[in-house]
Amino acid sequence: MAGNRFVRRRAKLRSGVRQAGADAILVSNFTNVSYLTGFRGDDSFLVTGGSIDLLISDSRYTTQIQEECPGLEFQIRRSGQTMLEAIAKNAKKAKLRRLGFESSSLSFESSEKLRNAAPSVELVPLSGMVEQLRLLKDRQEIAEIRDAVQQAERGFRILRTMINGKMTELEAAHELEHTMRRLGAQCASFDPIVAAGSRSALPHARPTERTIGESPFLLVDWGATNSAGYKSDLTRVLTTGKILPKLAKIYRVVLNAQRRGIEAIRPGARCCDVDAAARDVIKSAGYGKRFGHGLGHGIGLDIHEGPRVGPNSEETLKPGMVVTVEPGVYIPGWGGVRLEDDVLVTPDGYELLTTVPKEFEDAVWG
């Protein structure tokens, strides 16, 4: 039965909530609600624990919940009743004494309103409980991420054949998203970065009206969100003009760093050590100060989720985690090189989920 996956996730959460000393938890982060129920809309909260396991939504979503969450108990709040009033009412009805809530998602104002609406219920701030479950992807989730990777990779392959020097960064970014959607993606997993020449020195460059052919190279950072909401995240550099020796040199440093980072991935490895494996290569080449961000991050229903792979990250890799590995070297005014792939931690080591070629020769466009 399709619902079982979600029932299992909620059972794990309920057990964690009990251990944290609460009777139930209010899940207010919509991505977490999706993860726990399969419901893909917004403005809906889940209360689960003890005798209660209830999605609270509004009348816009009645049909969608029936379609997406077979077997899930849900309540459509009547118009005029706020979400927090509906929660308070159900908390009292279920005789909850201690109700946990997601304190990194619920606003201060909402927490106060809930406190006032349910004065007999003690509110317990809990943080990161669902995010902790989401760290480890199950088989189905890994299949969804593979799907998102495939949509991104096919989109990029098509973009490479369509791209020309007269296209602007913006046009290329829009073509890429549209192509991925044609291939079945729900949307891009974030606004694609298409950054020509010196713009690529900005890790979060917004595409502009600059034409691609004005610069000798181009950085593309993109991904797809598949129909189930799972995301991929890649970066490649394409040379679009004369090949610069400086570009070739930096490219090879970054590629070498990325390989070392990927090879350091295995169950039990500390994230800071994976970061260091890549960072040391860049430092040795004299570019240490030009790599200002962490090596990577988890992906899943969010484009940035745990674990963080950075110099200060004490987290330890476990089978089922999926992380990006994306070292970069950025020279202000000149440009930047970043290479990014998505990697699954397996029981034995790692599996590279992304397959876009990345030798420097592969970066030569046209």
125 binds a copy of itself (CB under 8 A): yes
41 binds a copy of itself (CB under 8 A): yes
Report residue 281: phi and psi, to 5°: -65, -40
The structure tokens 């590629």 sit at: 255
- Burial label for 73, CB within 10 Å (0-12, 13-18, 19+), is exposed
Binding footprint of a copy of itself, residue count (CB under 8 A): 38
Among 3, 7, 64, 315, the residue binding a copy of itself under the rule CB under 8 A is 64
Smallest distance, a copy of itself to C-beta of residue 18, A: 21
362 binds a copy of itself (CB under 8 A): no
The structure tokens 């005798």 sit at: 51
Structure-derived torsion over alpha carbons of residues 175, 248, 289, 269, reported in degrees to the nearest 10: 80
59 binds a copy of itself (CB under 8 A): yes
Structure tokens at 69: 């969450």
* Ordered DSSP codes for 63-105: HHHHHHSTT--EEEPPTT--HHHHHHHHHHHTT-SEEEEETTT
Among 1, 19, 73, 79, the residue binding a copy of itself under the rule CB under 8 A is 79
Question: Which span sits near a copy of itself by CB under 8 A: 44-52, 60-68, 144-152, 347-355?
Answer: 60-68
CB nearer to a copy of itself: pick between 108 and 314: 108
Among 8, 204, 246, 289, the residue binding a copy of itself under the rule CB under 8 A is 204
DSSP-assigned beta bridge partners for residue 26: 47, 101
Window 133-152: residues binding a copy of itself (CB under 8 A)? none
Nearest CA-CA partner of 40 in 62, 68, 80, 60: 68
73 binds a copy of itself (CB under 8 A): no
The structure tokens 């989109």 sit at: 155
DSSP-assigned beta bridge partners for residue 323: 298, 343
Smallest distance, a copy of itself to C-beta of residue 350, A: 27
CB nearer to a copy of itself: pick between 102 and 153: 102
Amino acid identity at 165? G
Q: How far apart are CA 10 and CA 12, in angstroms?
A: 5
Distances (CA, A) of 352 to 77, 86, 155, 340, 355: 45, 46, 19, 11, 7
CB 83 within 8 A of CB 61: no
Question: Which span sits near a copy of itself by CB under 8 A: 54-62, 160-168, 241-249, 273-281?
Answer: 54-62
CB nearer to a copy of itself: pick between 95 and 289: 289
78 binds a copy of itself (CB under 8 A): no
Site string for a copy of itself, 84-103 (x = CB under 8 A): -----------------x-x
Window 256-285: residues binding a copy of itself (CB under 8 A)? none
Smallest distance, a copy of itself to C-beta of residue 333, A: 10
Classify the phi-psi angles of 251: left when phi > 0, otherwise alpha if psi is within -120 to 50, otherwise beta: alpha
Among 19, 73, 108, 361, the residue binding a copy of itself under the rule CB under 8 A is 108
CB nearer to a copy of itself: pick between 154 and 249: 154
DSSP-assigned beta bridge partners for residue 364: 239
Window 6-35: residues binding a copy of itself (CB under 8 A)? none
Smallest distance, a copy of itself to C-beta of residue 348, A: 34
Interface residue list for a copy of itself (CB under 8 A)? 40-41, 59-61, 63-64, 79-80, 101, 103-112, 125, 127, 170-171, 174, 177-178, 181-182, 187, 191, 202-204, 206, 292-293, 312
